[in-house]
C-alpha cells in the first residue's frame, strides 16, 4: 500500500469525514465545520468508503503548473547573469535588461525566486536579506543559544539624521556631487551629477578623470540650457566648493570662480559636510554605480568622450523612468539660456600682468591682445589684465574695461614669407569679441575675490551680502 501524503487542508477534511463515518455523526454539523454544502459532505462520505484516505488527494496534486518557468530558461537566466555583460546588475535592473536585450519576459518576483533557488542575491539586497542568505549558506549550522535580552535604549540619538521634506518647487534646490567608480575600462573616473530635489529628475551629468571645476561647469551648463536658472545649489565641502581645503594657489584662483559664477546667475550656493543632508544625490550615485556601467558596457563605450556622448540620451531615459514629470506651474526655474550666453557666464578669470614683450604668460604659453580686426594692441609692462577662458576654451583678455582676443605667440612661426607660398587671407567679418555688459569687468571680479579670500566668507554669507551680488 503506497503512502498517501495530504496537504493541511486535505487532512483537515479527511479527519472530519473519518470521525463522521466512524461515530455515525450528523452530516449537517460536518457541513458547517467544513463550510460546504450537505451534498459535498455526502460526496466525501462516499469517496471515503470507496477509496479511503487517497480520495482526498486533489487531482492536480502531482501535476506541475502551466505557468511554471522551465528549467532551461532558469539556467539560461543564471548563465546570462554570470556573463561579463550583466554581472553585477541589481535584480530590478537585470529584469529590465532581460526584457530589453534578451526578450525574456518574467516578473521581478519570479526572478527573485530563481535567484533564491540558485543561491544568489541582488548586490543591492537589504541587510536582513544578506544576513538570512549568509545563514542559509552555512553548512551543518546549529541553533545557537538565544542571546540575553538587552535593555531598551531610552537615550536620545547622539548624531541624528532626520528625514526632511522635499522642496516644494522644481528648481528650488539642485543637489550636486561627484562619484568615483570604474565606469568603463580599468581606470576610475568621476561622474559629476545634478538632481532636482523636488522631481528627482537627473538634470545634468558629466564624466571627468577627477572631480574638477570643468565637470561642475558642464553640469551647470546642461541645467541652464535644458531647464533654466535654478534657485539654489546644495553641495558637499569638497575642494571645488570649500576654499579652506584647497592647497594650490592656482586651484584657489579657479575654484573661487564657481561661487562667482553662481553669484552672477543669482544662484544660492550652500555646502554641507554631512552626506545624509543631501541624501538624494548620494543615492543617485549608488544607483548609477549599479546601473550605468552595465549600460555603458552594452553600448560598447570605451573612452570618456564616448561616455559623455552616451549620457545625453541616458539622462532622458533615467529621468523618464525615475523622475516626476516637470510641471511648469510648479517650477521656479528662470528662463533657459542660450549656448552663447552660457559659454560666457561659465568662464574662468585669472589675473595677470603684461610683460616686457607686450604679452601675458598663461599656462606656459604667451598671448598678445588683439582687437576685432586681429591687429595687435601693445600695452606697457606691468599693465594688469584679466585672462578670460570661456567654457568652450576660447581665450580673451580684458584690459582697462575692454575685451580683446588672445593671440598665441608660438615658439616658431607657422608661415615663412621668404620660402612658403603666399598665405591666403580669410574672407569674412570681424573677429567676434564679447562686450563688457556681463561680469567680466576686472573691478567686479577683484572685489568679489577679495571678499571671498580676505574675509574667508562662507557661501551662505556671500548669498546675502548685497554689496557683492552682481545685478
Residue of 110, 80, 115, 116 whose CA lies nearest to 98:
80
What is the DSSP secondary structure assignment for residue 276, as one 8-state letter?
A: G
Task: Express each pLDDT in 277-297 by its tens digit.
Answer: 788 999 999 999 999 999 999
Across-strand partners of 406? Answer: 369
Least confident segment among 117-126, 395-404, 461-470: 461-470
Q: How many CB atoms lie within 10 A of CB 437?
A: 8
Q: Where are the domains of the chain?
A: 8-56, 71-132, 174-337, 348-439
Per-residue confidence (pLDDT) for residue 467, from 0 to 100:
35
Check pLDDT > 90 for residue 220: yes
Q: How far apart are CA 354 and CA 406, in angstroms?
A: 12
Quick check: 288 and 193 in contact, CB under 8 A? Answer: yes
Q: Which CATH number fits domain 174-337: 3.30.110.60, 3.30.420.10, 3.30.300.30, 3.40.50.720?
A: 3.30.420.10
Residue of 412, 413, 406 whose CA lies nearest to 377:
406
Per-residue confidence (pLDDT) for residue 456, from 0 to 100:
47
Query: What average pLDDT does range 171-188 have in this prediction?
Result: 92
Q: Strands 189-196 and 202-208, how do they pair? A: antiparallel
Residue of 254, 124, 120, 242 whose CA lies nearest to 176:
242
Q: How many CB atoms lie within 10 A of CB 29?
A: 12
C-alpha cell at 376: 595687435
Per-residue confidence (pLDDT) for residue 240, from 0 to 100:
54
Quick check: pTM over 0.75?
no
What pLDDT band is residue 366 in, cutting at 50, 70 and 90? Answer: very high
**What share of the chain has pLDDT > 90, as a percent?**
41
Which one has a higher pLDDT value, 163 or 139?
Answer: 163
Least confident segment among 191-195, 236-240, 385-389: 236-240
What separation in angstroms does the CA of 394 have from each of 30, 107, 360, 388?
A: 92, 53, 16, 8
Q: Rounded to 10 degrees, what is the CA torsion of 199, 203, 208, 210? A: -50
Which one has a higher pLDDT value, 240 or 166?
Answer: 166
**Beta strands in 292-422, from DSSP E residues, in sequence order:** 348-353, 360-362, 365-370, 384-389, 395-399, 402-409
Check pLDDT > 70 for residue 175: yes
Task: Express each pLDDT in 67-90 by its tens digit.
Answer: 888 889 999 999 998 888 888 888
Q: Strands 384-389 and 395-399, how do they pair? A: antiparallel
Check pLDDT > 50 for residue 466: no
Amino acid at each position: 500500500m503506497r503512502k498517501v501524503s495530504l496537504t493541511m487542508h486535505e487532512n483537515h477534511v479527511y479527519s472530519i469525514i473519518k470521525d463522521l463515518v466512524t461515530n455515525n455523526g450528523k452530516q449537517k454539523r460536518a457541513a458547517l465545520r467544513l463550510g460546504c454544502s450537505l451534498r459535498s459532505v455526502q460526496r466525501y462520505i462516499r469517496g471515503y468508503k470507496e477509496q479511503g484516505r487517497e480520495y482526498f488527494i486533489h487531482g492536480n496534486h502531482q501535476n506541475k503548473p502551466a505557468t511554471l518557468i522551465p528549467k532551461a530558461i532558469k539556467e539560461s537566466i543564471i548563465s546570462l547573469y554570470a556573463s561579463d555583460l550583466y554581472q553585477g546588475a541589481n535584480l530590478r535592473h537585470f529584469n529590465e535588461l532581460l526584457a530589453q536585450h534578451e526578450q525574456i519576459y518574467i516578473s521581478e518576483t519570479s526572478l527573485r525566486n530563481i535567484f533564491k533557488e540558485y543561491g544568489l542575491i541582488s548586490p543591492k539586497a537589504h541587510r536582513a536579506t544578506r544576513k538570512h542568505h549568509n545563514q542559509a549558506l552555512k553548512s551543518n549550522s546549529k541553533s545557537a543559544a538565544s542571546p540575553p535580552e538587552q535593555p531598551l535604549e531610552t537615550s536620545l540619538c547622539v548624531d541624528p539624521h532626520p528625514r526632511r521634506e522635499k522642496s516644494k518647487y522644481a528648481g528650488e534646490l539642485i543637489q550636486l556631487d561627484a562619484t568615483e567608480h570604474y565606469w568603463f575600462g580599468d581606470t576610475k573616473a568621476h561622474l559629476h551629477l545634478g538632481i532636482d530635489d523636488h522631481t528627482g529628475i537627473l538634470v545634468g551629468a558629466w564624466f571627468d578623470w577627477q572631480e574638477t571645476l570643468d565637470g561642475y561647469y558642464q553640469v551647470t551648463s546642461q541645467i541652464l540650457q535644458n531647464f533654466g536658472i535654478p534657485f539654489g545649489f546644495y553641495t558637499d565641502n569638497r575642494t571645488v566648493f570649500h576654499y579652506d581645503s584647497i592647497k594650490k594657489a592656482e586651484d584657489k584662483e579657479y575654484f573661487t570662480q564657481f561661487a562667482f559664477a553662481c553669484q552672477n546667475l543669482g544662484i544660492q550656493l550652500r555646502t554641507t559636510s554631512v552626506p545624509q543632508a543631501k541624501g538624494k544625490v548620494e543615492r543617485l550615485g549608488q544607483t548609477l554605480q549599479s546601473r550605468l556601467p552595465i549600460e555603458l558596457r552594452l553600448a560598447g563605450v570605451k573612452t570618456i568622450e564616448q561616455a559623455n556622448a552616451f549620457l545625453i540620451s541616458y539622462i532622458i531615459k533615467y529621468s523618464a523612468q525615475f523622475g516626476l514629470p516637470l510641471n511648469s506651474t510648479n517650477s521656479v526655474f528662470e528662463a533657459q539660456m542660450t549656448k552663447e550666453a552660457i559659454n560666457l557666464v561659465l568662464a574662468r578669470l585669472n589675473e595677470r600682468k603684461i610683460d616686457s614683450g607686450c604679452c601675458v604668460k598663461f599656462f606656459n604659453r604667451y598671448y598678445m591682445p588683439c582687437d576685432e580686426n586681429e591687429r595687435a594692441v601693445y600695452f606697457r609692462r606691468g599693465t594688469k589684465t584679466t585672462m578670460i577662458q570661456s567654457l568652450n576654451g576660447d581665450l580673451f583678455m580684458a584690459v582697462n574695461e575692454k575685451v580683446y582676443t588672445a593671440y598665441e605667440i608660438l615658439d616658431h612661426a607657422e608661415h615663412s614669407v621668404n620660402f612658403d607660398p603666399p598665405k591666403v587671407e580669410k574672407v569674412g567679418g570681424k573677429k567676434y569679441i564679447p562686450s563688457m555688459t556681463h561680469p567680466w569687468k576686472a573691478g567686479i571680479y577683484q572685489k568679489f575675490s577679495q571678499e571671498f579670500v580676505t574675509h574667508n566668507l562662507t557661501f551662505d554669507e556671500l548669498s546675502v551680502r548685497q554689496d557683492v551680488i552682481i545685478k
